[in-house]
Amino acid sequence: MGARVRDARAAVRWGADYLLKAATQTPGALYVGVGDPDADHRCWERPEDMDTPRTVYAVSASAPGSDVAGETAAALAAASMVFKAADRAYSRRLLAAARDVLEFAVRNQGKYSDVVGGNIGAYYQSYSGYKDELLWGSAWLLWATKNSSYLGYLYSLGDSDSVDMFSWDNKLAGARVLLSRRALVNGDKTLEPFRQQAEDFFCRILPGSPSSTTRYTAGGLMHKSGYANLQYVASASFLLATYAKYMAVSKHTFSCGSLAVTPRSLRALAKKQVDYILGVNPQGMSYMVNFGARWPQRIHHRASSLPPVASHPGHIGCQEGFQSYFYSGAANPNVHTGAVVGGPDENDAFPDDRSDYARSEPTTYTNAPLVGCLAYLAGAYKS
């Protein structure tokens, strides 16, 4: 595992370096985005040909963005733990930045999409508000620092809303599962309310639970949304696997009405969802590109769908990209190995159509939780 751990650490550092620069480049500001979403969506270009405006957006005391700041603090705090033993100086820099960014988020509260301009709100709206990201950032800093001062702030947020999904926008379920670790594994009774809220989340997604609010397709896939549904499947599966681990260590079980819930049952559901994503489904299709015998050929991805510079050195403009390549029925020339698309509809059908972005677009927020779940399952089922 040594080389793989080094590779994983290098990948984390790549993202952490970017966030560190965004958080420390200008005192009192956090850079949160680059580009013009209207112009970018009007173009179908390769990265090498991109000529749309690269507008830079930032939040500050006068233009607050607690949601994106809380998320940044969480990422920096989590990354600091990855490097705690391998690179202590770097770990300390990340943790110091995480503290500063969370303090900035708490002191200057507001939604970034309300203030940054550039029509960001039309594309990347923070629908859930910012309290979930403040909880998320505080939860990660509590774990990274072991500083109990974050506990008081966690309780002051007072967010007891029930949720049945974990996503790029809404972090409540993830924060509650993370805080449950301390309640279950460390026996910290002060965090019991978060454990109860985490288990309420699971009762809302488990098949057979009387309080379930989650639909499953005939093929057995969790179905939460018509857009990029696999993001919700991957993130829920990651939380199922994570909580199963906490339960196993603490020998804990719980119930959803008459349904008994064990680590084994959570792990089994996570495995079933991941197996579906990887090809055990009515279509016999893996929704991860270049994995299995059959996988999406026409994913909604600019660099994948346009010819490489080596074979087409000339510039491909915005509209030429649409006319010659986006609307083409040909398979993508560049295989985006490992990318996971939005997935099938509520009837387990998948059109493999580049223009159907709701089902054919790969996203980082689908791949990210799936990687965590796959890592767990690879260890749990290694026999």
Cα first-last separation, the chain = 17
Task: Read off the amino acid at residue 302.
Answer: R
Residue recorded with tokens 């804990």: 252
* Crossing angle (nearest 10°) for helices 229-250 and 364-380: 30
User: DSSP letter string over 215-243?
Assistant: EE-TTS-EE--SSSHHHHHHHHHHHHHHH
DSSP state of 332: P
- What SS3 state is found at 147? coil
Q: Which pair of tokens denotes residue 309?
A: 């510079």
Rounded to whole angstroms, the Cα distance separating 230 from 344 reads 8
Q: Angle CA(218)–CA(271)–CA(360) in degrees, nearest 5?
A: 60
Rounded to whole angstroms, the Cα distance separating 9 from 80 reads 11
Task: Read off the amino acid at residue 380.
Answer: A
Q: Which sequence positions are flagged as catalytic?
A: 352, 361
Task: Read off the amino acid at residue 242.
Answer: T
User: DSSP letter string over 92-119?
Assistant: HHHHHHHHHHHHHHHHS-S-GGGTS-TT
Rounded to whole angstroms, the Cα distance separating 137 from 94 reads 13
